[in-house]
Structure 1
Amino acid sequence: MEPPPARRCHRVMMAKTTISRRTLLTALAGAGAAALAGCDPAAPTPAALLPDPLLVEVDGGLGVLRGTERQAAPHGVATADGRLVYASAADGADTAVWRIDAGRGTASDRVRLPGRWVPQTVSADGTRLALTTEGVSATKQRPAGRDVTPVLIADAGGVRQRLQLPGNVVPEAFTADLAGLFVLEWLPPDAPDRYRVRVVDLATGVPGPLFIRDKAPVPSGAEEEMRGDGRQAVLAPDRTVLFTLYTHQPDHQHTRDRISGRPGSDVHAFVHTLHLHQRWAYCVDLPHPFGEGAADGHAMAITPDGGRLYVADLGSGAVAEISTEELTVRRTATFATGAGPAFAAADNERLFLGAGAAVRSVDLAGLTVAAHRPVGEPVTGLVLSGDGSRLYVGQRAAVAWQDPDSGGELGRAAVPGLRGLHGVSA
């Protein structure tokens, strides 16, 4: 069975994923899929040609928008930069998997995997896929109790490894050399209420601790155990470091505090930094009031040069600048508060923050608000084009693109069922 050609109407029957990065995607259903595909003559059509290919979240799944074309990715999971998407579908008692190049719109041949599997995470380079029998978001969901977790490692050619990992684990990311798999190990396995990050040696299938920042292994018993909400994950532009924002962490102690015996600070949010090459982890604490408000009022964006990471809590109006080299908070500022889910995008001079029916432009030199722009409808996502000349704003059933300097709308396309924007696909 071959996937439909890229430049063809797709009536793909697919039965919400949050971006970040890595949520279980269920099938799009009925009208939503037909509207996304753009094949139903009664469905709304785009009012303008999209200048860039976009990877988006629609009701129940992922979709690729290119020009006037719409391509569906059933049960899809994407690379963190949105370039590649792995989609899957039941094939009798087995699972068919194929890879979509979101920028070009092309799809690989389908590969048949024995048994029923759900794509869980993709390597940063897009060549490896980890699948589980129960898809669970690495940042948003808690798995059901279990003592053993089946994991399948595959690529465009088929199965590479089948693992039976002890305990209750959720694949999060591959190491850069593809020899290891970072997982969240949930504890206790039969009634999970907290988790720790471990790395599985894919040659042996044996899980072990990470390293601390000086590259020494974490001593037994000193691994961080986390509770609370993982809000968003951002991959560094050079694909070496994964940053994940966590909020609401009662009774949490960082590894560095457990090793030193210090009690640690009373923080409610931090950025978990995972080095995919060197396999170490480090947490950057965020000051009060981060983490005390709603998790979805927080958002994070990294500059294209990779040097600065910005975290915003629009519920309190707080913004923090983190040096990705020093892994410290360098500056903070407080702006007017915003209501509803927050979204962020950044270039090297500006930070764009969206919440409610407005987008703010923040000047990074002074960390001050340069403009406050109403957009008419609640924002569901913000993405900058690769050249920085267009700011895409997700809304209820459409995506609009603006001039980032003036805020003037340059175009708009109807996208029925749109829930969020994942990224621009080069």
Structure 2
Amino acid sequence: MTANTTFSRRTLLTALAGAGAATLVGCEPTPAAADPLPDPLLVTLDGGLTVLRGTDRQRIGAGVATADGRLVWTAAANGADTDLWRVDAGRGDASERVRLPGRWVPQTASTDGSRLALTTERLSATGDRPAGRAETPVLIADAAGVRQRLRLPGNVVPEAFTHDLAGLFVLEWLPPAAPDRYRVRLVDLATGVTGPLLTRAKTPVPEGAEEEMRGDGRQAVLAPNRAVLYTLYTHQPDHQHTRDRISGRPGSDVHAFVHTLHLEQRWAYCVDLPHPFGEGPADGHTMAIAPDGGRLYVADVGSGAVAEISTEELTVRRVATLGAGSGPAFAAASAERLFLGAGTVVRAVELAGLAVTAERATADPVTGVLLSPDDTRLYLGQRAAVCWQDPVTGAELGRAAVPGLVGLHAPARPA
């Protein structure tokens, strides 16, 4: 699975204003824009996934990566069939190609990168709704080839594997022929049977009580321990959580929430976000998780709101308002700071007080924000370039031209 990112390039219309924040200028164009990258990065170019390594470019093409960017599965048509192989993004090594009968598209990888679900067309768990259909062909594969063929009844989109690889979480779209809502279900890969998830109390969800969602799945973030997947949803008219349907209470007027999916224990739970989350554009929302996995931060640059969620309690601990802006939003978090990029501004937010400590202007709209594995470099994707700064001072440390850059995925660490 991958963490979804919106890569549009609308310019920031309103300058982000944080009280007491220092204004710094970073990532301005330089005449010689060929600095070698200190860390290999997995990025998206116009032609698909690519690893930037020093001054080299390793083009991988269309495919899906693990959330940590270590492994990438990619496929290419070979006559009426499909060639499949896996790339270690950190090292650049590729596995032997295996032939899959028929035409298939990589859809989602297991968190360890050992298993892959493929579909006959590209689908998205955090994108547009699929076309209507009565059943969905799914192929499960690994580096040796086909492990299992499934023809799942209904209109489903594979989202994630269970931690033990025995199950596949899917989004089931309803009604199948003309979908307008969806629910999360679990496919038992031994039997091919689809059923409901568990509640947070680890009891089966009663029939008729599964929550059905409408709206936009904006972004997915995997916990550092790879056990929990957090997905941010916005614009949820007439949505009612499982806990409300079981209790019989009416749902609250919530426009955004974080869907928490436990990949080991197979339960799901939704953390509601308060007003004004979800009322602005979906691409203005973003989230990042702290390195220890204990805190999840959700930001809406349209309103300036930032929420801190306790991942142990699954509650919103704090909400702060930083000042409104606009444009597609991106985030990365260290133990001490949250970095938010939108339009031509990057903000450093000190986590102890959820306060802006610096604003940094960029020459072009930001298309991605990443921290190096040691947190000593902040990478910014821009139009046809990647630059990197000192996260504390904002000083520019280097800049590399990357024609065709669409967005940043993750540091490409060896598997």
Task: Pick the TM interval, shorter chain.
Answer: over 0.9
Within a 5 Å distance, the mapping from 1:120-159 to structure 2 comes to: 120-159=107-146
Displacement after TM superposition at 1:45 (Å): 9.6
Would the alpha carbon gap of residues 279 and 19 (structure 1) be closer, same or farther in structure 2, given more than 3 Å must change? closer
1:336 to 323, 326, 333: 323
Return the alpha-carbon distance in structure 1 between the equivalents of residues 73 and 131 of structure 2: 24
Alignment partner, residue 92 of structure 2: 105
Is 1:374 paired with 2:361? Answer: yes
Deviations 1:338-376 (Å, cap 9, x if unpaired)? Answer: 211000000010000001111000000011001111112
Would the alpha carbon gap of residues 105 and 46 (structure 1) be closer, same or farther in structure 2, given more than 3 Å must change? farther
Is 1:402 paired with 2:385? Answer: no
Give the partner amino acid of 1:21. Answer: N
SS at match of 2:39: coil
Deviations 1:51-106 (Å, cap 9, x if unpaired)? Answer: 11111111142111111221122221011111110011001110001101111111
The TM-score, its normalising length taken from structure 2, stands at: 0.92
Deviations 1:165-186 (Å, cap 9, x if unpaired)? Answer: 0100000000000000000000
Contact 1:46/1:415 (<8 A) preserved: no
Within a 5 Å distance, the mapping from 1:80-99 to structure 2 comes to: 80-99=67-86
Task: Identify the range of structure 1 (44-53 vs 222-231) with the bigger mean alpha-carbon deviation.
Answer: 44-53
2:4 to 21, 25, 41: 21
Q: Count matched residues.
A: 389
**% identical aligned pairs:** 78
Return the alpha-carbon distance in structure 2 between the equivalents of residues 60 and 138 of structure 1: 21
Alignment partner, residue 21 of structure 2: none
Displacement after TM superposition at 1:19 (Å): 6.1
Alignment partner, residue 36 of structure 1: none
Alignment partner, residue 192 of structure 1: 179
The TM-score, its normalising length taken from structure 1, stands at: 0.90
Is 1:68 paired with 2:55? Answer: yes
Return the alpha-carbon distance in structure 1 between the equivalents of residues 146 and 301 of structure 2: 44
Deviations 1:318-339 (Å, cap 9, x if unpaired)? Answer: 0000000000000000011121
Instruction: Tell me: higher relative CO, structure 1 or 2? Use CA pairs within 8 A at least 6 residues apart.
Output: 2
RMSD: 1.4
Is 1:390 paired with 2:359? Answer: no
Return the alpha-carbon distance in structure 1 between the equivalents of residues 145 and 95 of structure 2: 12
Alignment partner, residue 226 of structure 2: 239
**Which runs of no fewer than 5 residues in structure 2 stay unpaired?**
7-30
Would the alpha carbon gap of residues 45 and 226 (structure 1) be closer, same or farther in structure 2, given more than 3 Å must change? farther
Return the alpha-carbon distance in structure 1 between the equivalents of residues 209 and 203 of structure 2: 12
Alignment partner, residue 28 of structure 1: none
Return the alpha-carbon distance in structure 1 between the equivalents of residues 46 and 282 of structure 2: 21
2:346 to 356, 359, 367: 359
Is 1:224 paired with 2:211? Answer: yes
Would the alpha carbon gap of residues 60 and 288 (structure 1) be closer, same or farther in structure 2, given more than 3 Å must change? farther
2:287 to 283, 288, 300: 300
Large movers: runs of 4+ above 2 Å: 18-23
Contact 2:125/2:171 (<8 A) preserved: yes
Would the alpha carbon gap of residues 102 and 273 (structure 1) be closer, same or farther in structure 2, given more than 3 Å must change? same
Return the alpha-carbon distance in structure 1 between the equivalents of residues 248 and 48 of structure 2: 45
Alignment partner, residue 200 of structure 2: 213
Return the alpha-carbon distance in structure 2 between the equivalents of residues 267 and 45 of structure 1: 49
Displacement after TM superposition at 1:46 (Å): 5.9
